[in-house]
Amino acid sequence: MMILGVSGSPKKGGNTEYILDEALKVASERGFKTQQLLCSSLEVRYCDDCGDCARGKPCPIKDDMDKFYELMEEADGLIVSSPAYFGTVTAQIKAVFDRTILLRRQGFKLKGKVGCALTVGASRNGGQEKTIETIHNWMHMHGMIVVGDDSHFGGIAVRPAHEDRIGRKTVVASANKLCDLLERIKKSSCRGGD
């Protein structure tokens, strides 16, 4: 089973990529194949709602979004991370979210996948819960199964993330919960749904 990590931060090697790496490390140690896509390294332009995808056509915008389509469809689970920018997700990850309407319009291709959200803010109450909520809303609109960190909404850290012991605990708990559910789904499907 494969877990895809997506970082919505425009900053290469920053706090958001750090917590995503921590979560993917948990998944890897538990035997999952992992991949990641970083908005800091890829260009995804905004959706202009041309309507082509509603008519079954490919998106006419030529950028790195095809990488997201391919890996999101392949993944069994998604871990999406974004820093809290002015109380919500970054423009970069919002562009990715908007462009995934193609996956929804052309067969709900993310339906049933398991997802969790991670975020980092400047302070403990720096908009992280609203950022998580935005990520969860995107997942729900695709029919995904959303998990948190066992007691709250997901992985919520404060920068510098590598020094935030409490935040890192929620990141690890979120990754473990996602892995737990994927393992249960796999076990159930192997038994034939018993």
Task: Give DSSP secondary structure letters for 22-34.
Answer: HHHHHHHHTT-EE
- For the chain, the domains span 2-190
Closest residue by Cα to residue 93 from 62, 63, 134, 133:
134
The pLDDT of residue 192 is 66
Identify the three-state secondary structure at position 166: helix
Query: CATH number of the domain at 2-190, please?
Result: 3.40.50.360
CB 112 within 8 A of CB 143: yes
CB count in 10 Å sphere of residue 49: 10
Q: What is the pLDDT of residues 52-109, one digit of tens each?
A: 999 999 999 999 999 999 999 999 999 999 999 999 999 999 999 999 999 999 999 9
pTM: predicted TM-score of the whole model, two decimal places: 0.95
